[in-house]
Chains A and B, each alone.
Chain A
Amino acid sequence: MAEKWHPDFERLVDEHQSMVFSLAWRMTGDRGLAEEVAQDVFLELDRHMSRIESPEHAMFWLRRVAMNRSADALRRRRVRGVDLWVEIEENHGTPAEDRSSPLSARLEQLLSTLPEAQRAALVLRYQEDLSPEEIAATVEAPVATVKSNLQRGLKLLRSKASTQLKEYIRGL
């Protein structure tokens, strides 16, 4: 029988903080909110440590909870009446030191204008390199829905990019 895995909380934070923070930031579009979400996710992990069975399970669990908490944070904002899209665009327009290139910045900005489900699918696909089946398991949706969201999201993003980022990308 395999030996039981004993997770080390600090090590899990070290290993996955970048992933959780990036998912939360790309889903909420707000750095401050993403930090809050990431904190909540890891504190929840701390409460559920006894149920985590393996490193893979920890990663899967963190991705799923990060996506759920980000969606909750967006919902709370909507309830509070904050104009999210204006805010996302404002937040994505700032700090220049976080950007790898102007094109990346513009692409992320365009991504933030996509509907939530499509954005989630694309973020998990292109940031986390997950297959549609893995995305479906993470967001708890049917694989067909995920594939559709990926196709539609990519198509929408491509069409937005073709009008707004033509100077950057060849082969659009």
Chain B
Amino acid sequence: MDFERPGQTGETGQPEQIDEFERELRQAMERRPAPPSLKRRILQQRSTRRTDRVQSYTVWWQRLAASVLLAGVIAGGYGWRRVEDRRKGEEAAQQVMTALRITNRALSDMNRRLVARNRADQQARQE
């Protein structure tokens, strides 16, 4: 069988031999016209897909934005809680320091009185 195209010559330079059968086959295999609605449906589906794609992108971005916002809120809450805990800790430490200062003052006062009293007792014994 010769595979050259009609009207062409083969490698040997001989004109191609295509018999009646192949000619009929070629004729039978002509392209068929596409249905008139095919292009319209393709363009319609293309447009629908594009809209869907845009919508899915929008939804994706919305989800991303919501996730970022949520992450921000959680991180902010966590940070605020840490700051608050530190503030409370410092406040408690201040209170303890104040209590210690008051106790220290009271003990010093008591010590001073005891010293004065001892001194008075000693003077009384000497007299």
Contact B29 A26 (CB under 8 A): yes
Question: Which of the 9-residue segments A54-62, A76-84, A164-172 touches chain B?
Answer: A164-172
Q: Which residues of B, 1-50, contact A by the 8 Å Cβ criterion?
A: 1, 3, 5, 19-22, 24-35, 38-39, 41-43, 45-46, 49
Q: Which residues of B contact A18 (CB under 8 A)?
A: 31-34
Contact partners of B33 in chain A: CB under 8 A: 18
Cβ-defined contact, B42 with A43, below 8 A: yes
Do residues B42 and A123 form an inter-chain contact, with CB atoms below 8 A?
no
- Residue from the list A39, A129, A151 in contact with B45, Cβ < 8 A: A39
Complex Cα distance, B39 from A126, in Å, reads: 25
Choose among B24, B27, B38, B45 the residue that contacts A21 (Cβ–Cβ < 8 A).
Answer: B38
A14 CB within 8 Å of chain B: yes
Q: How far is the CA of A161 from the CA of B92 in the complex (A)?
A: 103
Q: What residues on A are CB-neighbors of B5 within 8 Å? A: 129, 131
- In the bound complex, residues from chain B placing their C-beta under 8 Å from that of A132 are 3
In the complex, chain A residues 75-118 whose Cβ is within 8 Å of any chain B Cβ: 98, 100-101, 103-105, 107-108, 111
Shortest CB-to-CB span from B40 to chain A, Å, is 10
B1 touches A151 (CB 8 A): yes
Our pick among A25, A43, A172 for the contact of B46 (Cβ within 8 Å) is A43
The distance from the CB of A19 to the nearest CB of chain B, in whole angstroms, is 6
Instruction: Judge whether A13 and B21 touch: CB under 8 Å.
Output: no
Contacts of A126 in B (CB 8 A): 22, 25-26, 28-29
With a cutoff of 8 Å between Cβ atoms, the chain B residues found around residue A150 in the complex are 1, 3
Q: Which of B5, B41, B42, B45 has the most CB of A within 10 A?
A: B42
> Does A8 interact with chain B (Cβ within 8 Å)?
no
Using A21-B34, A21-B38, A38-B34 as known contacts, say yes or no to A43 and B45 having CB atoms under 8 A apart: yes
Binary B-proximity of A8-20 (CB < 8 A = 1, otherwise 0): 0110011001111
Which residue of the partner chain A has the closest CB to B19? A171
Interface residues, chain A, CB within 8 Å of chain B?
9-10, 13-14, 17-22, 25-26, 35, 38-39, 42-43, 46, 98, 100-101, 103-105, 107-108, 111, 122-123, 125-127, 129, 131-132, 147, 150-151, 154, 157-158, 161, 168-172
Nearest first, the 3 closest Cβ-Cβ pairs linking A and B are: A104-B28, A17-B34, A107-B28
